[in-house]
Amino acid sequence: MQPTSDRVLVASNNLLPRRPGTSKTILITGSSSGFGRDTAETLHRAGHTVYASMRGVQGKNREAAEALRKLGIKTVELDVSDDASVEAGVESVLAEAGTIDVLVNNAGIGSAGVTEAFTTEQAKVIFDTNVVGLLRVTRAVLPSMRQKRDGLIINIGSILGRVTFPFTGIYGASKFAVEALTDSLRYEVSQLGVEVVEVQPSAYPTNFLTSSQTPDGTEVTESYGEVGHIPDAMFKSLSATFEGTDAPDPHDVAEAIAKLVGQAKGSRAVRTVVGAPFGSDKANEDVAPVQAKVVEALGLSHLEQVA
């Protein structure tokens, strides 16, 4: 039976060399920095053909793209919030490589602050990247995977898709949505040879935290009084923790992704928590049998297994 959860708190710093014939063609979104860039470099070192996609390959992310290319990593212009960009980016990879064996849906936008103070437009932008963007890229890649009846999709979720931190309402809601998409997709494509799994990182010292959106409605935040000051204090404390010697290593996430890529079809955990779980690992364990019973009640238990 396919494992349902796997807790990864500290990953190995040494990937095993790839065996001949096991190299895969991998497309990663949001590869200009953070988890995406580290994952691209890690998988490239492991012997895979990596296509690191991002917005602004010739613009704002030009330096990042050039640095990746110098390492031998291919770069692709791809904006997950734009249908045409996604289609063109995926088509360019398929035209050159002929296949996409693994898709890593990593692109995302963070947010922190009083939920009421976020405008609806801000919420739309976050969901368009974190949820609809993931769906756009998945829809573009799936036809080729279904045709060859083989493929792996790794969605980068968050522990905040299982547990809730106050003042992360918009971001957390988008990651809860990723949970539903991951489960529904994995059932729907399992008999077509495609495996869908998720990595749930905790907080790590990457630029993701510093680039997270804050609410535009400052007057709303101010009206909350002392409560409105909690988000700043909370995240300043978190940033200070990240500057210490005991700060978690973001490379753990890249290693966890690489481990999943290297495992055999059907043996991969559906969910992998990386870093301090804050109870998300327990939530995964508790939900898994309930979800399995739901599928069983629908007479669809066979969809749990990847063909």
Task: Determine, yes or no, domain membership for 255.
Answer: yes
> Is 1 among the domain residues?
no
The residues with which 156 forms a beta bridge, in sequence order, are 199
Distance (Å) of CA 89 to CA 105, 136, 217, 280: 14, 11, 35, 34
* 60 labelled catalytic: no
Asked if 277 contacts 202 with a C-beta cutoff of 8 angstroms, the reply is yes
Known active-site residue 175: yes
- Can you give the pLDDT at residue 87? 99
Provide the β-strand partners of residue 77: 54
The predicted pLDDT at position 247 comes to 85
> How is the chain classified by DSSP, letter by letter?
-----EEESS--S-PPPPPTT---EEEESS-SSHHHHHHHHHHHHTT-EEEEEES-TTTTTHHHHHHHHHTT-EEEE--TT-HHHHHHHHHHHHHHHS---EEEE-----B-S-GGGS-HHHHHHHHIIIIIIHHHHHHHHHHHHHHHT-EEEEEE--GGGTS--TT-HHHHHHHHHHHHHHHHHHHHHGGGTEEEEEEEE---SSHHHHT-B--S-HHHHHHTTHHHHHHHHHHHHHHHHHTSTTPPPTHHHHHHHHHHHHSPTT-S-SEEEES--TTHHHHHHHHHHHHHHHHHHTT-GGGGS--
The pLDDT assigned to 18 comes to 44
CATH of the domain at 202: 3.40.50.720
pLDDT recorded at residue 15 = 42
Residue 246 within a domain: yes
In a domain, 201, yes or no: yes
Q: 51, 171, 204, 259: which one is catalytic?
A: 171
Give mean pLDDT in consecutive 10-residue pieces for the chain, a chain of 307 residues: 47 42 92 97 98 97 98 98 99 99 98 98 98 99 99 99 97 99 99 99 82 95 98 87 84 98 98 97 98 98 97
Catalytic one among 24, 175, 204, 259?
175
pLDDT of 21 reads 54
25-28/6-8 β-pairing: unpaired
Domain region containing 180: 6-304
Residue 273 is assigned to a structural domain of this protein: yes
Q: How many domains is the chain partitioned into structurally?
A: 1
Assigned domain for 256 exists = yes
Number of other CB atoms surrounding residue 217 within 10 Å: 16
d(CA 22, CA 46): 10
For residue 154, being part of any structural domain is answered with: yes
Distances (CA, A) of 28 to 74, 102, 195: 11, 8, 16
Q: Hey, CA dihedral for 278, 280, 282, 283, is it positive or negative?
A: positive
CA–CA distance, 112 with 120 (Å, rounded to integer): 15
d(CA 79, CA 60): 13
Q: What angle do CA 47, 51, 54 make, to 5 degrees?
A: 140
Q: Residue 76 pairs with which residues in a beta bridge? A: 53
Distances (CA, A) of 199 to 6, 35, 116, 230, 271: 10, 11, 29, 28, 6
